[in-house]
Every structure is written in structure tokens, then in C-alpha cells.
Amino acid sequence: MQSVNLGLIGGGTVGSGVYHALQLNRGLMEARLGVRLKVVKVAVKALDEPRPYEIPTDVMTTDWKAVVNDPEVHVVAELVGGVTLARTMILTALELGKPVITANKALLAKHGPELFEAARRHGTNLYYEASVAGGIPIIKALREGFVGNRFTHIYGIVNGTCNYILTRMRQEGADFGDVLADAQRLGYAEADPSLDVDGHDSAHKTGILASLAHGFWVKPEEIHVEGIRSITKIDIQFAQQLGYTIKLLGIVKLGPAQGKKAAARVQVSVYPALIPNSHVLANVNQVFNAVFVRGDVVGDTLFYGRGAGKDATASAVLSDLADAALDLKFGSKCRIPPFVPLNQGGTVMPIGEAMARYYVRLNVADRPGTMAKVATILGQAKIGISSIIQPEGHEGESVPLILMMHDAPNAALTKALAKIAKLPVVKAPPVMLRVETLE
């Protein structure tokens, strides 16, 4: 039986999880693959650092180069994160012709084309299943399972921290700040939660999915990103009353082409949106992730599972290890390319051109004529109102006014709301959330 040796760079939460999982199920994997698997070296920050699972000291080193350059190491897994040193580690391994496994979504989002080109140039492969949605095999599904499909829509709940916060706000009627503090105490949110709650982590993952689905690399700065800090319990309550749940979504939509031979134009966005309570995505709760994929041949599919954590991520890394081992076994350095640039003329559609329905909450003066002033501005912008709610029990100087809008361009509504905000009868900045019907 052929042997394939793995070298890990990173022995913390994820690295030790990978080591533990391989010891747990190595016999099973070897029987399924016909390949003998072994971790021969692990680079760590410190030999005595605390880690969830024990790693024998005789395989550990504090020198990452000792892992990459070791001729006994056939496959390298980069599990340290960051976008500087990790880039050097991966490029070094690829230049030696060694296949690399990474869970580093931020690095791929920023340097993906460079890394994929290095893999191609040196006749090897880069595997990245663990970079998006943890243990959910969404990368493999897009690359292999749906290879015969064009993708019209992808919606992803891909950040467990945000989903946990929004779930508890809905279930308990709690405020954002209170739930965030509890999430930090429980270890679901970092001390500095901005990467998660401001949508940047979701943007890294959404950009990777969009790039893979549409064949041109989406740069992070091209993605429209909104987080969940502005979501209040009153908006969650009104959404429920209207039959919706608020979720932070990573969205990839194929837009209309400008001409018969025009390249793809794709909306790539991250924002909190109202989705129908009847849709399965509305019932993805707590720290779980889910990715909804619509293909032109397969139709609608849904992938659900744990999106983070040492064990879920380890499962994805072992999946990539299996692919790398089989590639080496059969002498195919690049059985399936990590990224195929099929659509280099493709572009990300500006958010202003995106069409959607909308939820708008205004805080307005409680006097006659207020709605007429608001409706006049919306009418001038050719934006239709589908329903209005002015709830009882809020009498006073100002009251909430909830408007549900028909489809309209994002830019048109943004411009109209800027005018509405200047009306003397409007007492606070308008709140606008998009509605994704998932139809």
C-alpha cells in the first residue's frame, strides 16, 4: 500500500483537531483510499502551548520550514491563518511541487489567483474545502457534484457567530449588545467581534463561492458588505409579524447580461435580509451554517451543518487529504484544478443596480399628513409600496411606521430614503433591510 505523509503547519485548535481526527479514523480512511496515511511533522508556535487535543512532542517543531522542506512530507496543510506569513508558507510548499491544503479564507480572498497560478505553474494542487462553511462540503459540491451546472443563485448563512446572535434575538426578544456579550462569554464570538458581526468573515467566504461558481476572481473590495450591528429587536419583531426571519446572508446572484455576448454580471453581497419563515434557511439556527445553491440543471439544493470548530474543520481537511492522497497515488498532480478561470470578462454588479424588495422602518411624527409626504417622495422615485403597518400602542411624539416595498433598484430607494430623512416629520434615520424571497 502506498504511503502519503502529511505535514501540519499549525497545532492549535484546528491543527490538533486534524491530528486527532486522523488518529481516530485513519484505518477507515486507509481502507477506503488504499493509501497509508501518517502525520510526520507538526509546526507549532510553542511546544507547551495549550491545545484541545494532544500532539506527541516527537513530531512537533517550532520551525515551519522544517515541515515544508522535509522530503518525508508529501502534503502540507497550512492551518495558521493570516495573510502574510501563511502566504509565504503556501508558496514555498507549492514551489517544491507539494500539494497544499488550507483553511485560510482570508488569504484565498486576497491572494487566491496568485496561489492558484503558483499551483498550476509548479504542477501541483491547492485544496481549500475547509475555507468555507466548516464541515459542509460546499467547495467539492460546486467543483465536482455540480460540474454540469450554471449557478443562478447562491445564498449562504456562513457565519455562526452572527447566526447565533440573530437566533437568540428572535427567540428571546433580546438586544444585540446583550446577546453579543453572552456569545463572547461562551466563546462563540471573539473579544473583538468586528470580523464576524460587521460581515467581513462572510464576505471572504462569499467571494470564494462567487469566484468558483462564475469563473472570475472576485476581489474583496468589490463585495458590498453590511453587518448586523444595526439590527434591533423591534425590526426582528416586525419581521416576524410580517412572516419573515432576519438572517445575515452571503448572496451570489447572476444578473442580466448587457447584450447577447456580454460576460456575466454577478451580484456579490453580504447583508442582513428578511427571508420567508416558510423557507428552510429561516430555520437554520444557533451556530449552524447553510448554503442554498440553485443550478440551471439540478434546481434547488441545500447544504447544512457546522460551519466552524475544530472537528467540523478537521473533517473538511481530511476530505482534502483524501483527494491529495488519491491524486498522488494515481500520479495525477492536478486531477481537478482548484480554480478554472472560465469567465475573465465577468464583473461584479454594483449594489446600486441590484433589484430587491425592501423593509423600511421610519420613526415619524404622529400627526395627519405624514404618510402622504413619505408616499410622495417614493412615488416620484417610482417605488411602489406593497403594505404599511403603523402599530398601535406607540402613541406619542413619534411612532414607528413600517413600509414593505415592491422591487426597486437599490440606488433609487437609497436616494429616496435620503430625501425622506430630511422631512421634518421624520425623527430618526430610516432603517432599510432587503427582502430575499428565494423564489
The catalytic site residues sit at: 205
> What distance in Å separates the CA atoms of residue 218 and residue 132, rounded to the nearest whole number?
15
> What distance in Å separates the CA atoms of residue 438 and residue 279, rounded to the nearest whole number?
8
> What distance in Å separates the CA atoms of residue 328 and residue 36, rounded to the nearest whole number?
12
> Which amino acid, one-letter code, is at 157?
I
3-state secondary structure 142-158: HHHHCCCCCEEEEEEEC
Q: For 141, which DSSP code?
A: I
All three cell numbers of 316, joined, read 473538511
279 neighbors 312 (Cβ within 8 angstroms): no
55 neighbors 16 (Cβ within 8 angstroms): yes
Phi, psi for 378 (deg, rounded to 5) = -65, -40
User: Which residue is listed with cell 437554520?
Assistant: 284
- 3-state SS class at 133: coil
Closest of 62, 68, 80 to residue 7, by C-alpha: 68
User: Which residue is listed with cell 517544491?
Assistant: 96
98 neighbors 70 (Cβ within 8 angstroms): no
154 neighbors 210 (Cβ within 8 angstroms): yes
